[in-house]
Structures are given as C-alpha cells and as structure tokens.
Structure 1
Amino acid sequence: MTAAWISPFLEAQAAELNAAENTLLAYGRDLRDACDWLAARGIGFDTATRADLEAYLIALDAEGLARSTRARRLSSIKQIYRFAYEDGLRTDNPALQIKGPGRDKALPKTLTMEEVDRLLAAAETHGRSAGDRLRNTCLMQLLYATGMRVSELVGLPVSAARGDPQVLLIRGKGGKERMVPLSPPARAALAAWLVHRDEAEDLARIEKGTAPSRFLFPSHGKAGHLTRVRFFTLIKELAVTGGVSPETVTPHTLRHAFATHLLQNGADLRSIQTLLGHADIATTEIYTHVLDERLKALVLEKHPLAKS
C-alpha cells in the first residue's frame, strides 16, 4: 500500500508542478528509503503516525546523515503526505507539525572580479581553432553576464540569440521564463559566435546534408548541444590557462560571482532574485552573508583601530 503511493505522487509532481527530472529522482530515492525503514517495522505510509516519522528522522541523525540530507528527506515526506491528504488517501497528515533539523547555511564559493577577468581573457585564447575560441568566449561572457545555470546556458536555443538581442529569454527550472539583460561584451561575443556558427552549419548542410541545429551551442552528441560535463571540463581548462585555481572554479561559481558582484555594486536583492530565477528570496539572501564576510574582513584589515 505504501510503496504504491510513490509512483502517483511523482506523476502528480511532474504533471502539476512540472518538476525537473532530477527533483523527481531525489523524491523517489528519499521516499523509498523512508518506505523501507517503515516497512521493516511493519508500518506503512498509510498507517504511520507522527511518532513513527519522528523516529525515522532520529534514526537518520543516528546514522550521521548531514542536516541538509535529513531536511530534504523530511521535505519529501511532507510532500507525499500533502498529496495523500488532498487525494483522500488519508484523512489526516501526520507530517504536518513535524519541524525539520534545518539546513546548514554554507556560504557559496565565489570569485573575485580579477579572477573573472582572467577567465574571460583565457576564453579568448584557449581552443584548438578560431571557432573554439569564439565559442569559449561566448560561453563565458554569457555565463557571467546573465548568471545562468549551466543547464540553461548549454541548452539555449539559437532562436533566443537572433537579432542582436539586448536581453535573453531564459527558460529555467519548472519551465519558468525570465528576461536577463546582456552586457555589451556579451552581445559582441554572441554576435561573433553566431556568424561562425551559422557558416559552419551552412557548410555541413551543403557537404553532408546535415540538418540545422536548434541550439546555440550545437554538438554531435545525443543531447544535440554542448553537455554540462564538457563545459565543466572546459571551465577547468580555462582556469589553468588564466592562472586561477581550478579547485575554486565551476560553472556555478560564475553564477555566484554574478550575484555577489551585483550586490557589491549596489543591486537590490529583489532584482538579483529575478535575474537568477530564484522562486524564494530566502535563497537569494545567502549572498548578503557573502558580502557581510567581505565587509567584516575589510574592516579588520583597513580600520585604523583594528591594527595592533
């Protein structure tokens, strides 16, 4: 009975909330773990009490699972019980009043403006061909100019980039769309890459009969576009070329740098929330902690009374 709830719950999440595949996989793993733990004690989702669910969370703590993992497991349980209550599978919701362990507020790793400048400069020189260098430059300029997620960047349709746009329409998590302005260097890099890309596409069509790609960064792989894995490798290569520690550089640190540098230069949180595509401003507020740490360091280093 209990395991049978998981599939319709996931289907509802996909259909009604347009949940991403990775989100659905995480829900599935969490709920199967909880289901197995309850089943070993002769309990199911349909009969579990609040005390049973709290005992499960205590068991997770005893296993040494991180607070973030326990919080995510509880979130999955709360979601399936909300679904069960709304669908009449249960007349009560035993998870409703359970408070979670909270999450550790880890500050996002970011980059200085100088480090970003080095990465952008490296993109202009790194690559086996002129086409590679144009593509690399366009990728990095767009990433830093917009704060896109890597999946949003590599999957950009070429139609979004036509006509020398001053803004890009980005389709984010859950299919939500947002508009993000482009900086002059990003527009220039995009225009240069488009000329090369279109010429290469025309040549492939004439010589091989290849159908034109709908992606801005096409690839011969199964996805049809540059993959997240390949871009992750590429950005590490650019870090080495630019003299930036590869351990500190990922596509997501460029997204963090975009937000942090905007905040440092006076942008408000609501604007940054919109540009990043965060559903909740609480997610965006983590960047104020990054800024707080830098301001604290600045005072300790520069204030005359801070010196011994």
Structure 2
Amino acid sequence: MSRVRALQPRQPKALAVDEEPEYITEFRQAMLARGLSTRTRNAYVRDLRHCETMCPKALTRWDDTDVLHCLTSLQKADKTPRTQARMLSSLRQFYLWMVGNERREDNPCARIKAPKIGRALPKDLSESDVENLLGAPDTSTAIGLRDKAMLEVLYACGLRVSELMNLSLEQVNLNAGWLQITGKGNKTRLVPLGDYANMALSDYLTHGRRDLVAHLKAGNCQAVFLTTQGGYMTRQNFWYMLKKYAKVAGITKDISPHTLRHAFATHLLNHGADLRSVQLLLGHSDLSTTQIYTHVATARLQALHQAHHPRG
C-alpha cells in the first residue's frame, strides 16, 4: 500500500510496454486524442499485445483468418466468452483506426461476430446487509467517522469508486444536500445526498476530518476523504476497507465497491423509482445500461413469489 501523500486525485498511469511496435504507440496517441481514459487505453493496448502472441504476423498484416485463429486460441485457452468478445472489440477498434487513417482498406473484424456472452446480473446486496455494513465502522474515532461517511455516501449516491476517491471539498454542498460529481467522459451531474449520508458526511467534516487535518497538518489537500498520510485515497485503500467492514457486518458473500452502486440502483427501483431517474443519478449515458437493474428487481420479486405464494 502506498505511503506517499497524494495532494491531487490519484490517476492511473499509462501501461508501460517494452519494445512496443510503432503502430501500437501511434494507436495509443490516437486514443489519447479522442479523449479516452487511461484505463481504456491501457485495456486496448493490453488486449492487442496479447493478441499479437497468437500469430507470428504483425497485427497490421492480419486478415480475417488470423482474427478467427486468435479467437479459437483464446477459446482453447479457456478464456471466457466475455474475454474473447473484449479482445475482438479491441482488434476492431485498432483496424477501424487503421482504415480511418488509410493504412489499410479493410477491417478484418468486420464480418466476425462476437461470442454470445449474455448479460450477468450485478451482485446483489440486501437492504439488511447494507444496514449492517453501514453500521460497522467505529464512529468514536476520526477514521471511523471517515469510513462511515464514505460508506453512507457511496450507497446514498450510487457513486463509482473513483468518483468517491476523487471527491473534493468544492464538490460538496451540505446546505443544499447535493454533490457535484464529475464522472466518465468528464460529464458533470448533481446527486442528492439524502439525510443519513448528509449527517454522516457533516459529522466527519466537522469532527473527523478536522482532527485528521490538525494531526497530519494536511490543510492544503482538498480531498474530502483523507488517508492516514493526509492525501487522496486509492481504490485499493477503499477496497481493503470495505472487505474489513463486510467481515465485521457478517456479510459472507464477496463484495466490491461497485456492489454498493448496484445496491443503490436496485433498491431505488424496488421502492418505486423510475428507470430514467436512476439513469441520471448513476450517470449512465445510455438507458440500456441502467435496464440491467430491472432484471435484478424482477429476479427478487420472482424469488419472493416462489418463497411465499401458496402456489409459487
């Protein structure tokens, strides 16, 4: 775990690759110019370099039979359909770039269909599990107040973990009860805190964070949630923290920070929220991405019906 104090939000670093082909470097630069995030660029490069190992020919010279051979090799290596589809998507983007720059006339992926992967339902967390999790931190300490506030805000606002880690003081308006969140694609949205999260965040900022700043002399860091070194937290910091509190709460299922975002959406729909509102709160650009949560809610209703209806 890093012991370096981060005064700015932590950002992923570009993937370092030894002896990278020039065309990969140029593709990286093109993705950067398109405004794709570092994580997305890294994923594309990682996939392309892995595909390169499947064929002795350079990627620039592949044809459709090479792409099919790559997918077959991935399947023989027991890679999941989802992984195969992701690799194909990376190849497709690479060749679209080549065609767009007149480096070749065809896209060898154009007629190749991705493996059917279905759509996995998000990991579910019951409302009682969430209540137990939110009650796990020891709020008699500054760190406990911080952790309580982080869990409450994550669940109340349905944030991505990076949005929570990068939250700065200027994005918080406790009087109005809103957070101003900058999400994927640098899109900004306003998200209501709710009474419990507002109270937990207010307690932390008034007492917990104030004590941390005084102890660490960290007044020049604008992070809402300070580390024990007085800087911005990493995703790994929060992941370990969540695992610890899940154990305290008696939650045996494997959960991640994204599980609370899923719980936020599912529980809103269970209590009558409309899909469009949930989409806006989550910051999804496409309503179809949000629709997966309707399947979770439906699955829960079916389970309740089977468990309690005399003819279930």
Whether TM-score is above 0.5 comes out as: yes
Asked if the contact 2:146–2:209 (Cα under 8 Å) also holds between the matched residues in 1, the reply is no
Instruction: Find the counterpart in structure 2 of residue 229 from structure 1.
Output: 236
How far apart, CA to CA, are the structure 2 residues paired with 1:275 and 1:13?
Answer: 28
**How many residues align structurally?**
293
CA gap of 1:163–1:288, structure 2 versus 1, over 3 A, is closer
Q: 1:273 aligns with which of 275, 279, 285?
A: 279
How far apart, CA to CA, are the structure 2 residues paired with 1:91 and 1:301?
Answer: 59
How far apart, CA to CA, are the structure 1 residues paired with 2:40 and 2:147?
Answer: 30
Describe the superposition over 1:163-183 as per-residue Cα deviations: whole angstroms up to 9, x where unpaired.
534221112223222221110
How far apart, CA to CA, are the structure 2 residues paired with 1:257 and 1:199?
Answer: 31
How far apart, CA to CA, are the structure 2 residues paired with 1:130 and 1:170?
Answer: 27
The amino acid across from 1:155 in the alignment is N
Instruction: Find the counterpart in structure 2 of residue 120 from structure 1.
Output: 134
Asked if the contact 1:122–1:241 (Cα under 8 Å) also holds between the matched residues in 2, the reply is yes
Q: 2:148 aligns with which of 104, 116, 137?
A: 137
How far apart, CA to CA, are the structure 1 residues paired with 2:60 and 2:147?
Answer: 53
How far apart, CA to CA, are the structure 2 residues paired with 1:175 and 1:181?
Answer: 19
Deviation of the 1:32 alpha carbon? 1.1
Residue 260 in structure 1 maps to residue 266 in structure 2: yes
Residue 293 in structure 1 maps to residue 287 in structure 2: no
Q: 1:12 aligns with which of 2, 13, 30?
A: 30
Residue 181 in structure 1 maps to residue 192 in structure 2: yes
Instruction: Find the counterpart in structure 1 of residue 204 from structure 2.
Output: 193
Tell me the C-alpha RMSD between the 2 structures: 2.2
Identity of aligned residues (%): 39
The amino acid across from 1:92 in the alignment is D
CA gap of 1:201–1:121, structure 2 versus 1, over 3 A, is closer
Asked if the contact 1:164–1:191 (Cα under 8 Å) also holds between the matched residues in 2, the reply is no
Q: 5+ residue gaps in structure 2? A: 1-19
**Mapping of residues 77-88 of structure 1, within 5 Å:** 77-88=91-102
Deviation of the 1:65 alpha carbon? 0.9
How far apart, CA to CA, are the structure 1 residues paired with 2:251 and 2:77?
Answer: 38
Q: Normalising by the residue count of structure 2, what TM-score does the alignment of the two structures yield?
A: 0.86
Instruction: Find the counterpart in structure 1 of residue 114 from structure 2.
Output: 100
The amino acid across from 1:215 in the alignment is A
Deviation of the 1:305 alpha carbon? 2.0
Instruction: Find the counterpart in structure 1 of residue 5 from structure 2.
Output: none
Task: Give the secondary structure class of the aligned counterpart of 1:148.
Answer: coil
The amino acid across from 1:270 in the alignment is R
Asked if the contact 2:209–2:226 (Cα under 8 Å) also holds between the matched residues in 1, the reply is no
Q: Normalising by the residue count of structure 1, what TM-score does the alignment of the two structures yield?
A: 0.87
Q: 5+ residue gaps in structure 1? A: none
